[in-house]
Amino acid sequence: MSCWNPRAEEMSLEEIQRLQFKLLKTQVYRLYSFSEFYHKRMKEANVHPDDINSLEDIRKLPFMYKKDLRDNYPNRLFVGGQDELVRYHVSSGTTGKPTVVGYTQRDLDNWAESVARAMTSIGLGRHDTIQVSYGYGLFTGGLGAHYGAERIGATVIPASTGNTERQVELIKDLNVTAICCTPSYFLHIAETAEKMGISIEKDTKLRTAVLGAEPWTEKMRKRIKDSTGVNAYDIYGTSELSGPMFTECTEMNGMHIWGDIAYVEIIDPETGEPLGPGERGEMVITMLQKEALPIVRYKTGDITAYEDSPCPCGRNHLRIERLSGRVDDMLIIRGINVFPSQVEYTLMTIPELGEHFQIVVDRKGVLDTMMVRVELKPSAFSDKLSDLIKLKKNAEYVLKNSLNVAAEVELLEPGSLARFEGKAKRVVDNRRD
Amino acid sequence: MSCLIDQISVFVENRPGKLAAIAEVMEAQMVDFLAFSIAEADGFGLLRAVVSDPQSVVAVMKDLGYAVITNKVIAVKMKDQPGGLKEIANVLGTAQINVEYGYAYTKNDSAVLILRVDDAEKSVEVLKKAGFNLLEEENLKA
């Protein structure tokens, strides 16, 4: 196993947990003393730092919500003075007011450290040329990947998003070996390369993709591998945690959450009860060392499960499985929970359909209707109407089977859905209450 | 000289403006339509056409991302009078040839029937034997 930071990465589970408790205790004392917000919250919950006597005692602490960040816009949750702050990022606020996150130099160092460990764990290093095609700017993706890649000594191309043909040229001409971007943008780059007559597999050195900021699937990983020869790795992080931070290792079997940086709980989103290894629920994260914007028991809204058995890669830091959706992305169609990621996973099982799709939810009278619009693959097109009708009916059948709710399928011309360079917007909900 | 003619088929979404977009591409390519048909199914359609230069149209449309393919069809000249279709149908039926679909156009005094059949070569043979006139690829150019 090649490690970026062997002392941290080779700890046993017991060592990790001992360290986590120490860090938690320190953080809770610090917040009780210096954060108005946490002090008040802990008083309300009737919990004092002295009540935290084991790692499990973290459950005595109140949850923190996205809403807390919005309600305290722009910086009322920050701890420490303005002089300590070295950077802001601002989230896009797709579902409401934007949220502002702040960093001390140590916060930025820990973030880069986390990404450096992650990139090393998938085999990247100083010999690599890494193209960062996440957006640079207020979004955390670009700079997060950038500083992590620089830290391991790789050569970084700060390509950001956009000008996709140019991106393809850079990949080819600068011998790019790895790329960081959203999964939908990677597909767009691959499509563009194909149109330009460039085979990623034969004409470029690109072999690794670090994909995140939106959910994707195991099928997509296979499709990417088969069509471009690129090994795609999942990366996780949100601006509240710092940004993209944690990836899978070469085992491709869950993303390692560095225990000295974050403590993960998985809870039942309805009851708040803790769930065990392998049980899917909402992820709650505590950042153990964050200074400027402390994050304690933050309800991420992300659905996943954890595994704390030792990873074959040799690391004992627990792993979370690929996210299977967001608590708030969840659509309720006729009383049934539907995750857009399930729709994507199901469509991927049908080879005649492309990767791009859109879910349109509507209400006819009192009944919810769901339509899945999906592009036909040009190679799958035949001149027979009956083949196309069969394809449509088959897609409707498998969707119904996997979602337990009927969906109408609309076949679209290839390329007719909008392509996204950032996060893909897959759902149009026209229901009005 | 082959009597098997290339027909292009394009997948079209059943939405306003979609056909116009395709027509625009064809116009820009100076495509001469000899005949075309639009078949509609559940929310989508197929545009089928016999054009003057099918291979270049297909190449351009593929580049633009359309789902488009070519198929072999036959084009039979028929008398523009009652009973014309019956004679052709009889010949094909007797030879156990199945017609998948067809469409026609008239020009001057003659009508031409475009047919997609399950055995194009055999159709050409039996129709010729029965005295029918089939268009050849060359007839479509210019």
Highest mean pLDDT among A152-161, A345-354, A417-426, B75-84: A152-161
- Domain boundary (B71, B104, B121) is at B71
Reference A215, options A403, A349, A356, A344; nearest CA is A344
A318-347 confidence digits (pLDDT tens): 999 998 777 777 788 887 778 787 888 889
Amino acid (1-letter code) at residue A216: W
Residues 6+ apart with CB under 8 A from B74: B3, B4, B5, B114, B115, B117, B120, B123, B124, B127, B134
- Domain boundary (B17, B43, B71) is at B71
A176-210 confidence digits (pLDDT tens): 999 999 998 999 999 999 999 999 999 999 999 99
Top-confidence residue, A92 or B86? B86
Q: Are residues B79 and B63 in the same domain?
A: no
Q: Are residues B47 and B59 in the same domain?
A: yes
Chain A 341-380, CB below 8 Å of chain B: which residues? 376-378, 380
Across A28-42, A240-254, B48-62, least confident range: B48-62
Interface contact B116, partner A, CB < 8 A: yes
- Domain boundary (B52, B71, B90) is at B71
Q: Is the ipTM of this complex over 0.95?
A: no
Residue A238 phi, psi (nearest 5): -130, 165
The domain total for chain B is: 2
Q: How many CB atoms lie within 10 A of CB B14?
A: 15
Contact B46 A377 (CB under 8 A): no
Q: Are B100 and B117 within 8 A, CB to CB?
A: yes
Chain A 195-224, CB below 8 Å of chain B: which residues? 195
Residue among A195, A380, A388 minimizing CB distance to B41: A388
Residue B44 belongs to a domain with what CATH number? 3.30.2130.10
Helix B54-63 vs helix B18-28: angle between axes, to the nearest 10 degrees? 120
Q: Are residues B104 and B89 in the same domain?
A: yes
- Which of A192, A371, A385, A416 to mutate to test binding with chain B, by most B CBs within 10 Å of its CB? A385
Contact A383 B41 (CB under 8 A): no
- Shortest Cα distance, chain B CAs vs residue A365, angstroms: 22
Contact A413 B71 (CB under 8 A): no
Supply the pLDDT for residue B28: 86
Interface contact A385, partner B, CB < 8 A: yes
Residue A101 phi, psi (nearest 5): -120, 145
Q: Which token pair is A107? A: 């916060």
- Which of B7, B10, B12, B13 to mutate to test binding with chain A, by most A CBs within 10 Å of its CB? B13
Residues 6+ apart with CB under 8 A from B53: B31, B32, B141
What is the average per-residue pLDDT within A87-93?
85
CA triple B66-B67-B68, angle to 5 deg: 100
A7-66 confidence digits (pLDDT tens): 999 999 999 999 999 999 999 999 999 999 999 999 999 999 999 999 999 999 999 998
Supply the pLDDT for residue A355: 84
Q: Which residues of A touch B18 (CB under 8 A)?
A: 413
Q: What DSSP letter does each residue of A12-81 carry, written as one string?
A: -HHHHHHHHHHHHHHHHHHHHHH-HHHHHHHHHTT--GGG--SGGGGGGSPPB-HHHHHHTTTTTT--S-
Classified as helix, coil or strand, A306 is: strand
Contact A383 B39 (CB under 8 A): no
Spatial distance between the Cα atoms of A217 and A226, rounded to a whole number of angstroms: 14
**pLDDT surpassing 70 at residue A95:** no
- pLDDT-derived band at A422, boundaries 50, 70, 90: low
- Shortest Cα distance, chain B CAs vs residue A196, angstroms: 10
Q: Are residues B37 and B62 in the same domain?
A: yes
Helical H runs in chain B? 18-28, 54-63, 84-94, 120-129, 137-140
**pLDDT surpassing 90 at residue A219:** no
Phi-psi bin for A96: left (phi > 0), alpha (psi -120 to 50), beta?
Answer: left
Q: Are residues B66 and B83 in the same domain?
A: no
- Which of A369, A413, A416 to mutate to test binding with chain B, by most B CBs within 10 Å of its CB? A413
Q: Are residues B10 and B65 in the same domain?
A: yes
A99-115 burial, b at 16+ Cβ within 10 Å, e below that, comes to bbbbbbeebbebbbbbb
Q: Are residues B63 and B83 in the same domain?
A: no
Q: Are A412 and A375 within 8 A, CB to CB?
A: yes
- Which of A383, A408, A417 to mutate to test binding with chain B, by most B CBs within 10 Å of its CB? A383
The DSSP symbol for A170 reads H
Q: What DSSP letter does each residue of B70-101 carry, written as one string?
A: EEEEEEEEEESSTTHHHHHHHHHHHTTPPEEE
Spatial distance between the Cα atoms of A338 and A357, rounded to a whole number of angstroms: 15
| Domains and their CATH numbers in chain A | 1-327 (3.40.50.12780), 331-429 (3.30.300.30)
Q: Which residues of B touch A380 (CB under 8 A)?
A: 67
For residue B34, give its domain range: 5-71
Interface contact B39, partner A, CB < 8 A: yes
Q: Are residues B37 and B50 in the same domain?
A: yes
Query: pLDDT above 90 covers what percent of chain A?
Result: 74
Helical H runs in A134-231? 140-151, 164-173, 183-195, 200-203, 218-228
Classified as helix, coil or strand, B137 is: helix
Q: Are residues B25 and B80 in the same domain?
A: no
Q: Are residues B58 and B97 in the same domain?
A: no
Q: Are residues B59 and B77 in the same domain?
A: no
Interface contact B48, partner A, CB < 8 A: yes
**pLDDT surpassing 70 at residue B2:** yes
Place of tokens 């008398």: B79
**pLDDT surpassing 80 at residue A82:** yes
Q: Are residues B10 and B67 in the same domain?
A: yes
Reference A232, options A209, A255, A204; nearest CA is A209
Contact A385 B46 (CB under 8 A): yes
Interface contact A411, partner B, CB < 8 A: yes
Q: Which residues of A touch B69 (CB under 8 A)?
A: 381-383
